[in-house]
Amino acid sequence: MARPFTGQSSLEAARKARDEACTAAELRIALAVLLPLEAGLTLAQTALVLGRSKNTTCALRTDFCARATGQRPARRGKAELRNRAKSTLQAEAAALDVALAGAAEGAVLVIPGLKEKIEAQLGHSVSLAGVYRMLVRHGWRKMAPDTAHPQGNPQAREDWKKNSAPTWRKCAPDSPGSGPSG
């Protein structure tokens, strides 16, 4: 004979979660608790209804009941914090607003200097790749490639170039000396 299902203390929380579920995953978790307790389904039957394995269904039930009774902390929402992220999107946006104050007016961005400003605003270290991904995530992108150094002297660059005529010239295809017989 199988053990009777536990979780009677989480029944009201499961009903509330079922009614407020916005995604299929949230509904599935609430039903993993409700179906055995209210409909009298076995774990195997509940797993079949939910489309998950018995082990997954049992884990969903156990996790929900532990969170509902306060034995585990509540999950963070996606809007609040992303997977393994150290900062919220709002905190990143605020840090970028401060660090990129001059960039909106056309100032040149130097990423290592920007990295230091962002780290100071966020209060933790960020890799260079993380800074580039953060810029993309918040809508910043490189509009055109750099053609010259921003502190360079265009006149000195033109003076330095060779002004002699090229020695090789392309001839018209029908002119003499342009073919293989020559």
- 103 in a structural domain: yes
**Structure confidence at residue 103 (pLDDT):** 72
Tokens of 84: 């393994």
**Same domain, residue pair 13 and 64:** yes
Higher pLDDT, 127 or 70: 127
**Same domain, residue pair 14 and 43:** yes
pLDDT at 169 over 90: no
- 22 in a structural domain: yes
**Same domain, residue pair 24 and 64:** yes
**Same domain, residue pair 49 and 100:** no
Domains in the chain, number: 2
Do the Cβ atoms of 65 and 7 come closer than 8 Å? yes
Do the Cβ atoms of 37 and 53 come closer than 8 Å? no
Q: What does pTM read for this prediction?
A: 0.44
Q: Using CA of residue 47, residue 53, residue 56, residue 62, what is the dihedral sign?
A: positive
- 52 in a structural domain: yes
Segment 78-114, tens digit of pLDDT: 555 566 677 888 888 888 888 888 776 766 777 888 8
Q: Whole-angstrom Cα distance, residue 147 to residue 20?
A: 55
Residues in contact with 38: Cβ distance below 8 Å, sequence separation at least 6, in sequence order: 11
What are all long-range contacts of 137-144, with beta carbons under 8 Å and residues at least 24 apart?
A: 137/89, 137/92, 138/92, 138/93, 138/96, 140/96, 140/100, 140/103
Query: What would the mean pLDDT of 163-170 be, rounded to a whole number?
Result: 56
Q: Whole-angstrom Cα distance, residue 94 to residue 77?
A: 20
- 143 in a structural domain: no
- 32 in a structural domain: yes
- 46 in a structural domain: yes
DSSP classification of residue 175: S
Q: Which domain range does residue 125 map to?
A: 89-137
What's 94-122 look like in SS3? HHHHHHCCCHHHCCCCCHHHHHHHHHHHH
- 125 in a structural domain: yes
**Structure confidence at residue 153 (pLDDT):** 85
